[in-house]
Structure 1
Amino acid sequence: MVSIGDQKISVHVGGSGTPLLLLHGYPQNHSAWIKLAAPLARHFTCVIADLPGYGASSIPADAASHETFSKRRMAALLVSAMASMGHNNFSVMGHDRGARVAYRMALDHSTTIRRVVVIEIVPTSDMWSAFDAEMAMKAYHWSFLAQPSPLPERLISGDPVFYLEWTLRSWTKGNCLDVFDPRSLESYRKQIRDPFRVHAMCADYRAGASIDRSLDLADQVRGANVTAPLLFVWSKLGFPKKAGDPLSLWRGWSDNASGAEIDAGHFIPEETPDALLAAAVPFLSADA
């Protein structure tokens, strides 16, 4: 546990080499990297964190603006946590919600981030702009989880494991849970049974619909770019594919963006870990 002010960030650390921060997505926690931790640790010093509000990390007090769950605040907390461990310059790889923290980190802390890998997202403002009938059906959780408290919290907590497993299963290529390690599944089930964690996850999405989107739009107006080399990895069947040409969207945010499409569902780190390693390790190992 790394203490940053009144917050604690839960991390698992292993390996050797240049530091690499790994950030999970929704509705998961650090266990999302269970298939990749050992292979990545052969190349990097891996810091596998629970995002604020998830796993065993502290749950920030929510605010009317949801600023405490903004990706800007999460990024700042995680950068401070890395600095407290002696990592003042590092690469970051994030999936889903963790990827949103990762690119915000690269925007706000450009001298800190060496390289950034974003998996299976397009920028938040671009994602909202892409909502049509098809996207609204596929990514219904974006508007559902962002509804005012306690509506989504009460509905999810009526049968939390059903909701979790429906979500996980429906976003995989094979519409099954077999791609998830049993230890990870049990960790996700434990998390979703905790009403305080459910509230935190909803607050994360409320921030995405409000302050995160506003921050992105402001950055677009001022022409802010990710200066670190950026690798975008997306699936043939996931959400970014529905947004048009997802790599071109990232090239609007970065002058040094490359990409790789993988034959998988949404959960690339757990569905196709070898393909992700093949794309990410050479990129993360390259000289800046």
Structure 2
Amino acid sequence: MTPGIPGFRHARLPGADGVQLSTAIGGSGSPVVLLHGFPQTHLMWRHVAARLATEHTVICPDLRGYGASDKPAATSPDVYAKRAMAADVVSLVAALGHDRFALVGHDRGALVAFRAGLDHPETVTHLGVLDVVPTLDMWNVLHGVSAAVGYHLFLMAQPPGLPETMIANSADVFFGSFLDAWACDPAAIPDGVRAAYLRASAAAVPSIVADYRASAGIDVAHDQADFDAGSQFAMPVTVVQQDWGAQLGYDAAQVWRAWAPDLDHRLTRAGHFMAEEAPDEIAEAIRELLAR
């Protein structure tokens, strides 16, 4: 049985282009949307969502191509562009009756949130980002042997065929390796949750690869166009990232300041899966963001 978020109901809501998104909804009050990362589903927010639901309507969708949401075929590069996935979020929240909302994303979901904040500044009131840098900057800072940590980015950027076949043939090993390598506290992802992530990811290999492939192509083009135009976020932004120290090789806060004039950049001792490893810390960071 797949775990869930206690007290939350589930619905299938309309995204963009006819895509239906499986969404967990709970609480009441001003809306906060939480977007999951890789290789996860909305379930990664189970602890944080429960904490925020005492004050807010909390909306946790599975991104298109992930979890129980629709997985359209990648017939063109824009199907899994973050622009399309951001439009999904705006559409599904509108279907719930909200025309403005706060948005927080982790990992892949943070890249969707990034695009939503630039494309829909009249809709996104507050923006939270967990443990990424923008796509354009990510490719610029990955270089030399330090780029080996992001080998999966290069693998899934390859033309259709090879990456899908390789990953599908070893799905549990492939996706499980990230759960193992990126968690400082493995107990934060218990066996039942881990199994749910692996099942969902194994069933979504083509769409997950398409999502990553978009980030090596069309997403870079969209980010570059905004960078060249001097686009910046109009709303308050909070970024929480792992404290890698000198190992990082670049100043992540400086990277984010170029995009976010109203920035609160924080470091955490938690690992990449910080919403599961340090839910009190992340929930408090979101509350403080919403108070700005």
Q: Which amino acid aligns with 1:192?
A: S
- What TM-score, normalized by structure 1, do the two folds share? 0.93
Q: What are the Cα deviations for residues 70-89 of structure 1, in whole angstroms up to 9, with x where unaligned?
A: 00010011101111111100
Given candidates 200, 207, 215, the residue that maps to 2:214 is 207
Secondary structure at 1:139 match in 2: helix
Partner of 1:187: 196
* Match among 269, 272, 280 for residue 286 of structure 2: 280
Tell me by how many angstroms 1:136 deviates.
1.4
Distance 1:191 1:67 in 2: 23
| Aligned equivalent of 1:149 | 160
In the TM superposition, what whole-angstrom CA distance separates every residue of 1:215-256 from its partner, at most 9, and x where no partner exists? 111111110111110000001149x97251111111100111
Deviations 1:189-208 (A, max 9, x none): 211231xx111000001000
Q: Distance in 1 between matches of 2:247 and 2:23?
A: 31
Where structure 2 has 5 or more consecutive residues not aligned to the other structure, the ranges are: 1-11
CA–CA distance in structure 2, aligned partners of residues 245 and 118 of structure 1: 16
Query: How far 1:152 moved relative to its partner?
Result: 1.5
After superposition, the C-alpha distances for 1:55-112 in whole angstroms (9 at most, x for unaligned) are 1111122134x21100001001110111111110000010000000001101000000
Q: Is the Cα–Cα contact under 8 Å of residues 235 and 263 in structure 1 kept in the other structure?
A: yes
What is the DSSP-based 3-state SS (H/G/I as helix, E as strand, rest coil) of the residue aligned with 1:36?
Answer: helix
The answer to whether structure 1 residue 126 and structure 2 residue 132 are counterparts is no
Please tell me whether residue 93 in structure 1 is matched to residue 104 in structure 2.
yes
Give 5+ residue unaligned stretches, structure 1. Answer: none
The number of residues matched between the two structures is 280
Judging changes above 3 Å, is the alpha-carbon distance between structure 1 residues 271 and 19 closer, same or farther for their aligned structure 2 residues? Answer: same
Cα distance in 1 for partners of 2:70, 2:244 equals 33
Tell me if the contact between 2:38 and 2:107 (Cα under 8 Å) persists in the aligned partners.
yes
Give the distance between the partners of 1:74 and 1:100, measured in 2 at CA.
Answer: 10
Quick one: distance in 1 between partners of 2:18 and 2:280?
38
Contact 2:74 2:80 in 1 (8 A): yes
**What amino acid is aligned across from residue 211 of structure 1 in structure 2?**
I
Give the corresponding residue for 1:55: 67
Q: In 2, Cα distance between the equivalents of 1:169 and 1:282?
A: 30
Q: Would the aligned equivalents of 1:234 and 1:260 in 2 still touch at CA under 8 Å? A: yes
Aligned partner of residue 129 in structure 1, secondary structure:
helix
In structure 2, C-alpha distance between the alignment counterparts of 1:210 and 1:123, rounded to whole Å:
14
Shift of 1:187: 1.4
Matched with 2:37 is 25
- Whether the 8 Å CA contact 1:117–1:232 is kept in 2: the answer is yes
CA deviation after TM superposition for structure 1 residue 278, in Å: 2.4
Instruction: Provide the residue aligned with 2:5 in structure 1.
Output: none
Contact 2:182 2:271 in 1 (8 A): yes
Q: After superposing the two structures, state which structure 1 stretch, 203-212 or 141-150, moved more.
A: 141-150
Mapped pair 1:267 → 2:267: no
In 2, the alpha carbon distance for the partners of 1:281 and 1:59 equals 32
Q: Percent identity?
A: 37
The correspondence for 2:56, drawn from 35, 44, 48, is 44
Instruction: Please give the alpha-carbon distance, in whole angstroms, between the structure 1 residues aligned to 2:145 and 2:271.
Output: 17
TM-score (structure 2 length as normaliser): 0.92
CA distance in 2, matches of 1:77, 1:243: 34
2:87 equivalent in structure 1: 76
Structure 2 residue matching 1:12: 3-state secondary structure: strand
Match in the other structure for 2:257:
251
Partner of 2:114: 103
Q: Counterpart of 2:8?
A: none
SS in 2 for 1:106: helix
- 2:220 & 2:249 partners in 1: Cα distance? 16
